[in-house]
Each structure stands twice: as C-alpha cells, then as structure tokens.
Structure 1
Amino acid sequence: MNTLSAAAARRFAVRQLHLLRSNLTTPGEDDTPLLGTSRRRWVRRIPYAVAVILQASLIPTGIVCLVEFYDLVLPVAAALTVAQTAPLLLAITRPLAAWWISAATLTTTAVVTAHHHQLTGSWPWTAPMILAYLFLLLALGLRERAATLVSVWIATFLLTVLTTTLGLPRAGDGTTVLLIALSGAVLLLGWAVRDRAVARRLLTEQEQISEVERERRTLLEERARIARELHDVVAHHMSVIAVQAASAPYRIPDVPADAAEEFGAIAGTARESLAEMRRLLGVLRSEETGGEKAPQPGVGQLAQLVETVGRAGVPAELTVGDGLADRVPQAVALSAYRIVQEALANVVRHAPGARTWVSLSADGPELRLTVVNAPPPQRTESLEASVEGTGQGLVGMRERVRLLDGRLDTGPLPDGGFKVAAVLPLDPLQETTA
C-alpha cells in the first residue's frame, strides 16, 4: 500500500511539474503591446515611457547598491543590474519571456552576492532589483491568463526558497518573505485590472451587438407592417380588376365570345393572385388578434392626425396643396401619412410643446413632404426615457421612402429644431388609374 501511495504521489508531482512548465513556457495568444489597443497615440506610448523612466532610475541605484553593499566590481554590478531592468521594455510585448530573464538574473545575483564576505545590506537582493521584478510582474499580470500567473508565483516562491537555503552561506533575511508576499499581491492586482478591462470590453461589444439586433428587429417589424399595408392597397386594386373583368360582359353590350372569355380569364387570374397573396402574407397576420378592418389612412386623414397631436400639447399647422389628396396614389398617400405620423410622434416624445409645421406639395412628378419643428419652448427632458426607442422611427421612414424609390433628409436645425423632408415620386400611371 505504501509503495502504491508513493508511486501515485510521484505521478502527481510529475504531472504538476509538467503543468507548471507548460504554463511558464506558453505565452498568451494576445501579443498586442500594453495599451496597444488605445486610439490615442500618447496612451500607447505610456508603457514605454514608464519603462524608460524606471530604467533610468533603477540602473544607477542598483549598481551603487551592489558595489557598496556587496563589494562587487563595477562591471559585474552593472551587468547584473542591466540584466534585471532591461526586461522591463521587453515586458510590454513579451512579458513571459521577460520574466524568464528576470528570474534567471535574480538567481544569478543571489549566487554571486552570497559568496562575498562583506555583506552589509539586505540579502539576497537589493531594493532596486525587487522593484524592477515587481513592475515586471505587474506587466505580466496585465497580459497573461490566470493559470500562468499562479505558475509564476509558485516559481517565484520556489526560486526564493531554494536560492536562500540550498548550499549558500546563510539563509535569507526578510527580503525573501517580502518578495514572495509582494509578488503575489502584484500578480493579483494585475489580474484583477485585466479581468475588469476584459469584462468592460465584452460588455461594450454586447451592447453594440444588442443595438444592431434592436435596429434589425425594428427594421423587420417595419417591413412587416409595410407589407401588411401594401397587401391591403394591392388587394383593393386587384379586387377592382376582378370585379370589372367579371362584370364587363354584362355591362358592355354585344361583347364577342372571345372577349368575354378573355375577361373571365382576367377575373380568374386576379382572384388567384389575391388568394396567393393572402396565403403568403398569412404569417404576417398570424401574430395579430385580428386584421385591420378600417381603410388605410392617406393624405385626407392628415388633418385629423394634426388635430390629435395638438390635443397632446404640440401646436401644429398643416398645409396641403390644392387638390393634392385626389392626385396622390394610395400607396404613396399611405407612406406619406406614416412618415408624418412618425415625425409628429418624435416631436411629442423629444420636443414636447414645440411648434410644428407640416406641408405637402406637388412638384411635377414628385410629392414633397416636410415636417419642421421649432425648439421646445423651455428646456425639457425627452419623454423617451429609454435608449431603445431613440432613432428607431427613422428606420421605418427610410424603409418607406426606399420602397417608393424616393429621398429622405432628416437632421437638426441651427436653432435647435428638427426637420424631416421626404420626396416621394408620383407614378403617372397610378394617377391616371385613380
């Protein structure tokens, strides 16, 4: 039993050593320099500036400490100090490789200083060397994964213990305990800062994804609504075609048999088209408790809409060109009504009490629609409390304008108001039909 336990313990120890070596020799996948993702150039230069400042201060003091406290010759003291501080620059891009250099230098320094008899300072390392090592560990904690940081701390613990106890003249003083404690604290601090930065980055990315999905959902909902409304418009015209074609032989005297048969075929095709359209758009209707039974609104209903907005506290004026209501095709009139409706709703939400002007006019083959509001009479907060609703109405406006191959111009005015201007083409064929 004891033999089996000892063998299991050895296997466990070997596995742990392999894991430790793997963590200490496998750097993270991210090779971006510290603060390298910042858009500001001066922020990206901060790590290099800090490394240069540390080297400029630690190299002279480190050399002096080794020469004065341990009676080392100047070339050896300079070589050890430079080898300990130079990895600070490397740590900006390759912190794990820099740690290996620093750890090897700490071990060499302990061995060299231990064999000098004039030990008048702390041993085995000077304060500048400890500071350089801690700053390097901080860079390591900001870049590497948690498993690597734990392995580095374990290696630091083993390094300090073995260096000060195996075959050296005397045991280390409080410097070793200080290095073990501070290295753990610095690694933990670096990991915490890195973990918080990663969490904030992921949260920002998720918010951006949510915003894109929200806009996409709004776009799909508006397209579905447009499809339902167009179904009603097209269904009306197709019904008229079917009725006219079916009743033509009875309304027109002496219709030839071939013509009557052709009228019947037209009526049948129109009815089949209506049935197919109803089946294709059945999914869009399935989410509603019932279809809209009232006629679709148009230019003629804008006066009622403006009156409703006025009761909500927004004084609005409507100007419609003479005879325009009879000239605008039903599909264009429906889109114009919805654009005005959304624009006025935005005024109620974002500029309550602002005076508003709505105008529709015909300019040749185009319908010009403008909704302009002045700034609110007093500084008030938007009634739209959540960010989710901000700007989503413009998506529906663009979709309706794009459907009719028109143009849309929206934006703030210099006086603090807002303008919505749309140009919708009037189809001459539809005008004649109407």
Structure 2
Amino acid sequence: MSSASTSSAAEPRRPAPEPDGHPGPLRRAAATVRDGLRATGTALWEPAPSTEPLLAHDPRRWVRRLPVLVAAGFIAILIPVTVRVLTHDYGVNGAMAGALGVAQSAPLLLAVTRPLRAWWIVLVADVAGAVVTMGAGPGHLAPWTAVTIVGYLVLCCALALREGRRTLLGVWLVTVVAGLVLGAFRGDASQDTGLVLTVLSGAVLLLGTLLRERTEARRRLVEQETISEAERARRTLLEERARIARELHDVVAHHMSVITVQADSAPYRLRGLPASAQEEFGAIATSARESLTEMRRLLAVLRSEDAHGERAPQPGLDRLPHLVEATARAGIPIDLSRPELAILRQLAEVTPAVDLSAYRIVQEALSNVMRHAPGARTEITVTLDSTHLLVLVVNGPPTESPGPLVESGGTGHGLVGMRERVRLVGGTVDAGPLPDGGFRVAARLPLVPKGSGTA
C-alpha cells in the first residue's frame, strides 16, 4: 500500500459539501440558536418599553396603588428576615447581612416602574449573597436561601406583567445559568436550591405572561368593540340623514315644479309684460328646470338599489289613521286624539317637511313599541298652539313577548331618526322612560305657514 493511500485512510472523514451552497441542518439549527441567544441578550439590555407604574391604567384607584403597597410590604418583611437568616444560620457579620438584605429587597419598589433594572440589581445582590453563603454547613440551603427565592419570585411577577416574551426568556436563561454555576461550587452537605428556583421562576414567568397577554387581548377587544359601536352609530346617523334627504326631494321638487310652471305661464297670464320681464321669467323657469335636473341626479345617488318603495309619495299626518289601524291589528291598543275641524284646517297649513317629520316620529315611536313593549296601551296626541305642532306618544309597560313588526315603513333607527328629523325643521324632542315601565316621546315642531318663504 502506498504512502498516499495510507495518509488518505488516516484522515478523518469530512462531511460532503451541501448542494447549491446551502448550509446543512446542523448549521441552520446552530445559526437559529445563535440568533435567538443574541436577540435575547439584546432584549435584556434594551430600555424599558414604559416607565408607567404597573396597573396604572386600571380605573379603580386601589388597584393602581396595589403594586406599591405590595412592594413596600415585601420590603418591610424581607429585609429583617434576610438579615436574621444570614447572621444566625450562615454566620455572616451584621454589616454584610444588612447590606445584602437591602440590596436584595429594596429594588422591589423600583420594580413597580422599571422591573428590568430592578432585576439586574437583585440578580447581582443574589449572586453576591450566594457567594457569601457558599460555605454553608450541612442541611443549609445553597446557593439560594429561602428568603432569596421568595424575593426573586415576587420580582418575576413584576417582570411578567411588563416585559415581552423575549426578555422573559433571557431572564429565565440567566437564572438557570447562575444556578448551575453557583451550584457547582456549593458544599456537598448543603441542599441544592438551584433547581427549585429554576422551576418556580419559569412557572411564575409563564403564568404571568399568559395572564398579561390575556388581559391585553381583552382590552384590545373592548377597544375594538367601542370603535365598532361608534362607527355603527355614525353609520346609522348618516343613513338616516340620507333617508331624510331622499324624502325631502318630493317636497322640494313640488315647489320647484310650481315655480317652473308659474314662470313659463306668466307671459300668457299677465298681459302687457315688457320684454325684459318676459326674459326674466324665462330665466327663472330655466333655472328651476336645471335645479330639478340636478335634484334628480342627487336623488339617483342617494337612493339604494333596494329602495324602490321610497319612490311612492311621502306620507303626512293625514295618513295617521291608516298607521294606527295597521298597528292596532298587530295587537297594540292605541288611542288617537281626533283634532277638531279648525285644527285640521291649521294642519293643512303645515309645511310638507314638518308634516312628514311628524308622521315619521309617530311611526318610529310605534315601531319601538312593537319591538320593546308589545301589547302596551299607547296614546297618540297631536295638538297645535300658536307657533308649534305638538306630537306626543306615550305607551305603558309591555304585556306580551316581542313579536314581528307589522309596520315596515320605519327606518329602524329609532331615537336617532327622530332627533335628526326634529333638528331638520328646528324643533325639539324629549324621549325617555316613565316610572311605570312605559316610554314617552314628545316632539315640538315649529309651524311655518305655506307661502311665508321659509322652508
């Protein structure tokens, strides 16, 4: 056998290079672990994400003060207990025991706002205490004393409530390494507490993290629900305003049509008009027709695809008896006040906007009775004073379980729709529950006679 072959056989076998230059699985695993350790180490040195006290956002005052009170209570207990344990059980001199007791316990107060900085201080103090008690006699706890374990677990609670997963993982790994290194130098006759602290600290950090993340998830859910409710209310308001605009189209279109007809027919009805006046009437008619065209375009945008029923003429107070009959057939006993003939003549002078608004307010009120107070006796009163139309709908407590709605013309927006309609005509509305379990809706709409020039 040649020397070359002998030399080749003696060389250790090298792994074959990976195809296409990709690293092998062992290298990838090692790189992953290395990157994770580097990221964890970086997280331990990063500044705290917040310096607010723990539980600072809780609405209850006593809960916001609880972390400080708990920290102060543990400090008051741990310092004297630590001094006594170190001096009596481990033979440490009083000055050293006092310094270690303060260094291991006092940072708990700092942990209320900066738990990671407090952990660094406590870690150094605990390691120093473990070194001082390294030569513990038989039966003594080492490297961590019982008081050290209690204080460290309290600190872990504060860390879990504030820091992220990566930081907590780094804290636990440092705890494990410190316990293994110090445990290797402890006395053979002492009781090892490194494993106890490793398991307990890991459990506390894990449970605290799960509790914090669950609380944050619930808080985000509440915030999202609040935002959704606000958006829903805003969308309801916009939908009701669009509906009112669609309904008012008929009212305004009627007046514009009258203006157009009067302007077109003026030269034929009024003899001897000068040419300039005829041209003025022609310009008025042209402007009115253009306005009608633009209104039709706007109406096409405002109407939804399924709003074919809204093309019917808009109802008014003269339709109240039909509305009452339809609702009464559904099992709602209703008393409708019958205005006198003089009042009916006055109602004929109400503007279409007020007339439509009054009808819709009654309609919405009856729809709410059907939804929330089925079977309740309801009274509807329509009266007039010198300047306002008064609409009052009062129902008693419900006597039946909710059933299907018979009157489907309501917007389904209830009080939002009432307030928007009343605001449109410059009136007021008062709605609220009654002591007997019923409900009251009172609207006061201004009377604007036709021909006054006010819409």
Q: Same fold (TM over 0.5)?
A: yes
Residue equivalent to 2:432: 411
Deviation of 1:348 after TM superposition, in Å, equals 1.1
Is contact 1:329–1:431 with CA below 8 Å preserved after alignment? no
Q: TM-score when scaled to structure 2?
A: 0.85
Residue equivalent to 1:145: 164
* 1:382–1:430 distance in 2 versus 1, CA, 3 Å: farther
Alignment of 1:259-408 (within 5 A): 259-288=277-306, 290=308, 292-319=310-337, 321=339, 322-323=343-344, 324-377=346-399, 392-408=413-429
1:187 aligns with 2:205: yes
Q: Secondary structure at the match of 1:292?
A: helix
Residue equivalent to 1:240: 258
Residue equivalent to 2:61: 41
Is contact 2:142–2:186 with CA below 8 Å preserved after alignment? no
Q: Please give the per-residue CA displacement for 1:385-418, whole angstroms capped at 9, x wherever unaligned.
A: xxxx9x9421111111111122121111222221
User: Which residue of 74, 79, 82 corresponds with 2:94?
Assistant: 74
Q: Please give the per-residue CA displacement for 1:183-205, whole angstroms capped at 9, x wherever unaligned.
A: 11100011001000000000000
Is contact 1:66–1:77 with CA below 8 Å preserved after alignment? yes
Q: Secondary structure at the match of 2:88?
A: helix
Is contact 1:219–1:396 with CA below 8 Å preserved after alignment? yes
Q: Secondary structure at the match of 1:93?
A: coil
Q: Secondary structure at the match of 2:57?
A: coil
Larger radius of gyration: 2
Is contact 2:240–2:420 with CA below 8 Å preserved after alignment? yes
CA distance in 2: counterparts of 1:12 and 1:171, whole angstroms: 40
* 1:350–1:131 distance in 2 versus 1, CA, 3 Å: same
Q: Secondary structure at the match of 2:89?
A: helix
Deviation of 1:29 after TM superposition, in Å, equals 2.1
Q: Please give the per-residue CA displacement for 1:269-288, whole angstroms capped at 9, x wherever unaligned.
A: 21111001111232112533
CA distance in 2: counterparts of 1:291 and 1:306, whole angstroms: 20
Letter in 1 for 2:422: V
CA distance in 2: counterparts of 1:94 and 1:382, whole angstroms: 58
1:427 aligns with 2:445: no
* 1:305–1:367 distance in 2 versus 1, CA, 3 Å: same
CA distance in 1: counterparts of 2:152 and 2:269, whole angstroms: 101
Q: Please give the per-residue CA displacement for 1:1-24, whole angstroms capped at 9, x wherever unaligned.
A: 89x999999988875554333211
Q: What percentage of aligned pairs have identical amino acids?
A: 54
Greater mean deviation of Cα atoms: 188-197 or 238-247:
238-247
CA distance in 2: counterparts of 1:151 and 1:19, whole angstroms: 9
Deviation of 1:255 after TM superposition, in Å, equals 4.9
CA distance in 1: counterparts of 2:207 and 2:61, whole angstroms: 25
CA RMSD, aligned part only? 3.0
CA distance in 1: counterparts of 2:268 and 2:312, whole angstroms: 31
* 1:383–1:325 distance in 2 versus 1, CA, 3 Å: same
1:127 aligns with 2:146: yes
Q: Please give the per-residue CA displacement for 1:89-138, whole angstroms capped at 9, x wherever unaligned.
A: 21111111111111111110111111x45454111121111011001101
Is contact 1:356–1:373 with CA below 8 Å preserved after alignment? yes
Is contact 1:356–1:372 with CA below 8 Å preserved after alignment? yes
Q: TM-score when scaled to structure 1?
A: 0.89
Deviation of 1:430 after TM superposition, in Å, equals 4.3
Letter in 2 for 1:427: V
CA distance in 2: counterparts of 1:172 and 1:9, whole angstroms: 38
Is there any run of 5+ residues in structure 1 with no aligned partner, and where? none
CA distance in 2: counterparts of 1:109 and 1:92, whole angstroms: 23
* 1:187–1:245 distance in 2 versus 1, CA, 3 Å: same
Residue equivalent to 1:209: 227
Q: Secondary structure at the match of 1:33?
A: coil
* 1:118–1:299 distance in 2 versus 1, CA, 3 Å: same
Greater mean deviation of Cα atoms: 251-260 or 151-160:
251-260
